[in-house]
Chains A and B, each alone.
Chain A
Amino acid sequence: MKILDLTISDFRGFGRNEKPLKLDSDLVLFYGSNGYGKSSIAEAIEWLFYGATKRRQLGDSYSKVEYAGTYANVHRKHPTEVSARVRMSDGHEYTLTRRLPLNAKDEVSQLFIDGTPKDFATIGLNPAETVYPVVTQHSLQTFIHTRPKERRDAISAALGLEEVTQLKSALDGARRSFNLTPPTEVTAARAHLKGFAVILSTIPETTAVAARWNQTPVRVDHKQDVAALERAAQKLSGKSPPTRAGLLDALREARRDASKSVFDTNKISPAPIAEAALSRLSNGAQPTREILDKVADETAQTVAITTAAYSTELLAFWETGLRLAPEGERCPMCEALTLTMRQRKIIQGRVAAQQRVVEANTRLKAAIGRAVTALEAIEQTIPSTTVGSPSQAEWETLSRLMAGIESTLEGFRAVHLTQATSGRELEDEIRAALSRMRTLTQDLANPAKGTQAAQDVIRIPASVLVALEKHIATAKAYRIAWDEFFRVVAERIATNSLIGQIDTVGKALKAASSISILAAFDSILDSSKILMQRTETYLQKKQTEMLKQRGKEVQDLYDRLNPGASVGFEGMEPASDQIRLNARSFGVRMSAAANLSQCQLNCLGLAVWIMRATTPESPFGFIVLDDPIQSMDDDHCEAFMDSVLPYLMDDHGKQIILLSHVKDIIDRTAALNVTRAIKVYHFEKYEKSGPVITEQVKLAKLLSEIRAYADGNESHRAIAVDRLRVLIEQFVRELHLKIVGTPAAPEYDNVAASDLLKLFRQIPGTSPDECARLKDTVGFTDPAHHSEVGYTVPQKTNIQPHIQRLETLMRKYGLIS
């Protein structure tokens, strides 16, 4: 693909512009002073095809903020746009455009082909790093004076291995991050396992596990660690169940047994059903009170009725009997005077009173029955809510366990005593109440006990309730005190070495997920390391293969720039994470970067970049060279122009776009390639709207060629003299066209330069003095002199005044700028 024309608008140093630069030549030369915008042309071509520039990428690596938005011209008011009409190798022509809209997010640009939004890939244009066609002055040595890895990356990119080198760098960065700041689950798992290391080191089966887990960071061997823990668990539990769950159960059982051998906390712990029992007591307290109150009521009523029956009726009975006795009716049985109608009524009243006594007793017995049932229920519940009482020896064992925190034990013992006492008191109260209930009816019938019995029944409800509530409260307080005390005592019991070992092995076995996480973490780290090694091996193998071929091209290009040098570059050599650049000095090998001159290093950089651009698979039929000969002396410049440029054009068929701030380079290049299609542009000045660029038409080109030939050898200088004569003829004809407005008359066609002097005199504005000077130059170039005896080809110093004379004339009449 070759570039036919290029339009740059609001890009970098270019302002708003719709006029294309014609580039449809084999060689396009741009001359301009520094700061006139030459590099903007090279960067425009880079940006068009790659969407970025090397300069910007380098800048972004320093400060994205500082370089942001710098593709666009600073004065722009329109979208930034670079457009090129190109001719593909199959002859198709397209207009390719990259546009950066105003305020484009992240500077994302748009692509167009012939004005239609379309990716360049749709026409088979996939520009790769390896074929980069733009060689810029600032990038020549970037890969030389850099860290070894960055040099390797740059050369790998030049060879087309960029993705593989990026892979290795990305793997390296990812591994580093993964290792230094692992996921939280990994740090948690490490802390978890490390906590087991001390006790596991005391168990023979797990000493190796402990050694791994005690490292920083913790190391695991999933298979061996789990197997060792299982062996330890089997040994500690004395059982070998087939499943891990079974093994954990066996450990729990072993732990319980071991705990008992230290102190059986069941002796003082609340019964498992204490909570439910207390709840029953609590719920039954008020109903029981009501039942007992009922007994008291019934007792009172019974006593009252009985007393009434016996006292009132009996007294009346006897008074009646006494009163009637003297005058009463005779009894048929005893003939006593007793069965009068009044007596009958009295007897009937007595019977009724007795009946009420019977009924009161029945109610009382029923109330007593309910009270007994309620009290017996309480009596049965009390043991479930009352703690056991350890022996003195057991309290002493606890004292030893709690050594150092005796006050905690003393505080707990006080609560324990209160609870045990309240249980006993409630038990005594209930038993007394039951005893009272069971003999109540009998005692009420007994005048010697009745009064006391009635008083007892009245006292019972309150005393039972008080004892009950006191017991419930102390039981609850004990429960709270126990929970607190158990945490301390369990820890003291657990410090027993056997229990500690059982606990640790059990917990470690249950922490298998932590072992799995760390094993997976290590596995990913190991795996990614292997992948990095494989990447490096692949990279070096490919580099070695490719440098065998492409390295020769670099060497060849370098040698073209440095013909016959005894000191210089001597090949590239792949190594781990770098590519060595070798040099030689009279047969001795040395580092190129450290020992070669700036000029030689520029030659090396140029050779590498040109090697990329000449990659056979490249879709680009052009190469852009932006001031590539900086730091080069005349010989190197001449070698570049005389050898490298023809190599690119002839051996690789490249269209060359060369930009330079050295006018002689442009003129000399033009002169050396007069037989080719050339375009020469000059950057005349730089304005706010961008550079003013003019194409150097025929006269200027001819002048450049003559100047170049004048610098050369004898045969070149002979050509220069001959071309001077051609230039005079051309100058006079163009001056006539410009001043008179018409071409010279036909009679002047095919005439010699000397004959054109007559035409020159006729052109308005020309002076006799100018005519005389022009005549002198015509004479200097007259071929008739060349055959004279003693004629020698003029030296440069003889030719230059004539060149200068013609240039002055052409400038005066505005034929060249």
Chain B
Amino acid sequence: MISNPQYLDEFIGQQTDAIHLRLLQSFRAICRQAHVPESEFAANLRQKMDEILAETSHEDFGSDNQ
């Protein structure tokens, strides 16, 4: 279904947090694609959360062997 885009756009425009914006932009992109079932929306956000986690910089101090 085509939805009224006005309110989601307005809500996104009010956000400043980087993680919020990444999640919101991802959601906006998929929910405005044609033929995407609503059940995919949550899966898409979950995937985005995984990506954000994976991108978190990991400090590498080598192996645990003393």
- Which residues from chain A sit less than 8 Å from chain B, CB to CB? 50, 52, 106, 108, 126-130, 157, 160-164, 166-167, 169-175, 177-178, 183, 185-186, 244-245, 248, 251-252, 255, 503, 506-507, 509-513, 516-517, 520-521, 523-524, 527-528, 530-531, 534-535, 538, 542
Query: If the complex has contacts A162-B4, A170-B44, are A527 and B15 also in contact, measured as CB distance less than 8 A?
Result: no
Among candidates B17, B60, B66, residue contacting A252 with C-beta atoms closer than 8 Å: B66
Q: How far is the CB of A512 from chain B (nearest CB, A)?
A: 5
Those of B19-43 within 8 Å (CB) of chain A: 19-20, 23-24, 27-28, 31, 35, 38, 41-43
Contact in complex: A163, B46 (CB < 8 Å): no
Contact in complex: A506, B41 (CB < 8 Å): no
Contact in complex: B5, A169 (CB < 8 Å): no
Contact in complex: A512, B53 (CB < 8 Å): no
Q: How far is the CB of B23 from chain A (nearest CB, A)?
A: 6
Contact in complex: A169, B66 (CB < 8 Å): no
Measured between beta carbons, the chain A residues less than 8 angstroms from B23 are 171, 528, 531
Task: Compute how far the CA of A757 lies from the CA of B61 in the bound complex, rounded to whole angstroms.
Answer: 111
Measured between beta carbons, the chain A residues less than 8 angstroms from B66 are 251-252, 255, 503, 506-507
Instruction: Please name the residue on chain B nearest to A108 by beta carbon.
Output: B35
Instruction: Please name the residue on chain A nearest to B37 by beta carbon.
Output: A60
Measured between beta carbons, the chain B residues less than 8 angstroms from A517 are 53, 56, 58
Query: If the complex has contacts A108-B35, A163-B8, A164-B11, are A531 and B61 also in contact, measured as CB distance less than 8 A?
Result: no
Contact in complex: B49, A178 (CB < 8 Å): yes
Contact in complex: A161, B7 (CB < 8 Å): yes
Contact in complex: A50, B4 (CB < 8 Å): no
Contact in complex: A163, B3 (CB < 8 Å): yes
Instruction: Please name the residue on chain A nearest to B18 by beta carbon.
Output: A527
Query: If the complex has contacts A166-B38, A513-B60, A528-B23, are A130 and B4 also in contact, measured as CB distance less than 8 A?
Result: yes
Contact in complex: B58, A528 (CB < 8 Å): no
Among candidates A129, A174, A509, A512, residue contacting B1 with C-beta atoms closer than 8 Å: A129
Contact in complex: B4, A511 (CB < 8 Å): no
Instruction: Please name the residue on chain A nearest to B63 by beta carbon.
Output: A510
Contact in complex: B59, A128 (CB < 8 Å): no
Contact in complex: A162, B1 (CB < 8 Å): yes
Q: How far is the CB of B29 from chain A (nearest CB, A)?
A: 12
Contact in complex: A127, B42 (CB < 8 Å): no
Name 11 interchain pairs, CB-CB below 8 A, sorted by A.
A130-B4, A160-B6, A162-B4, A169-B42, A173-B42, A248-B61, A511-B61, A513-B58, A517-B53, A527-B17, A527-B19
Contact in complex: B2, A160 (CB < 8 Å): no
Instruction: Please name the residue on chain B nearest to A546 by beta carbon.
Output: B7
Measured between beta carbons, the chain B residues less than 8 angstroms from A108 are 35
Contact in complex: A171, B7 (CB < 8 Å): no
Contact in complex: B2, A126 (CB < 8 Å): yes
Question: 10 more A-B contacts (CB under 8 A) besides A129-B2, A160-B7?
Answer: A128-B3, A173-B45, A177-B46, A255-B66, A510-B62, A510-B64, A523-B19, A524-B53, A531-B23, A531-B24
From A244, A509, A535, residue with most partner B Cβ within 10 Å:
A535
Task: Compute how far the CA of A52 lies from the CA of B52 in the bound complex, rounded to whole angstroms.
Answer: 35
**10 A-B pairs with the lowest CB-CB distances in the bound complex, closest first:** A173-B42, A174-B45, A520-B56, A160-B4, A170-B41, A163-B8, A513-B58, A174-B46, A510-B61, A527-B19
Contact in complex: B5, A163 (CB < 8 Å): yes
Measured between beta carbons, the chain B residues less than 8 angstroms from A52 are 1
From B24, B49, B61, B62, residue with most partner A Cβ within 10 Å:
B49
Task: Compute how far the CA of A108 lies from the CA of B36 in the bound complex, rounded to whole angstroms.
Answer: 11
Contact in complex: A524, B52 (CB < 8 Å): yes
Q: How far is the CB of A532 from chain B (nearest CB, A)?
A: 10
Task: Compute how far the CA of A516 lies from the CA of B14 in the bound complex, rounded to whole angstroms.
Answer: 29
Task: Compute how far the CA of A674 lies from the CA of B8 in the bound complex, rounded to whole angstroms.
Answer: 46
Instruction: Please name the residue on chain B nearest to A515 by beta carbon.
Output: B59
Query: If the complex has contacts A162-B3, A513-B58, are A528 and B31 also in contact, measured as CB distance less than 8 A?
Result: no
Task: Compute how far the CA of A186 lies from the CA of B54 in the bound complex, rounded to whole angstroms.
Answer: 10
Task: Compute how far the CA of A163 lies from the CA of B19 in the bound complex, rounded to whole angstroms.
Answer: 19
Task: Compute how far the CA of A132 lies from the CA of B14 in the bound complex, rounded to whole angstroms.
Answer: 28
Contact in complex: A166, B20 (CB < 8 Å): no
Task: Compute how far the CA of A166 lies from the CA of B24 in the bound complex, rounded to whole angstroms.
Answer: 12
Measured between beta carbons, the chain B residues less than 8 angstroms from A538 are 11, 14
Contact in complex: B3, A129 (CB < 8 Å): yes
Instruction: Please name the residue on chain A nearest to B64 by beta carbon.
Output: A507
Contact in complex: B2, A171 (CB < 8 Å): no
Q: How far is the CB of A215 from chain B (nearest CB, A)?
A: 20
Task: Compute how far the CA of A183 lies from the CA of B13 in the bound complex, rounded to whole angstroms.
Answer: 30
Contact in complex: B42, A50 (CB < 8 Å): no
Query: If the complex has contacts A50-B1, A129-B2, are A183 and B50 also in contact, measured as CB distance less than 8 A?
Result: yes
Query: If the complex has contacts A106-B35, A535-B11, are A174 and B49 also in contact, measured as CB distance less than 8 A?
Result: yes
Q: How far is the CB of B19 from chain A (nearest CB, A)?
A: 4
Task: Compute how far the CA of A89 lies from the CA of B43 in the bound complex, rounded to whole angstroms.
Answer: 41
Instruction: Please name the residue on chain B nearest to A119 by beta carbon.
Output: B34
Q: How far is the CB of B38 from chain A (nearest CB, A)?
A: 6
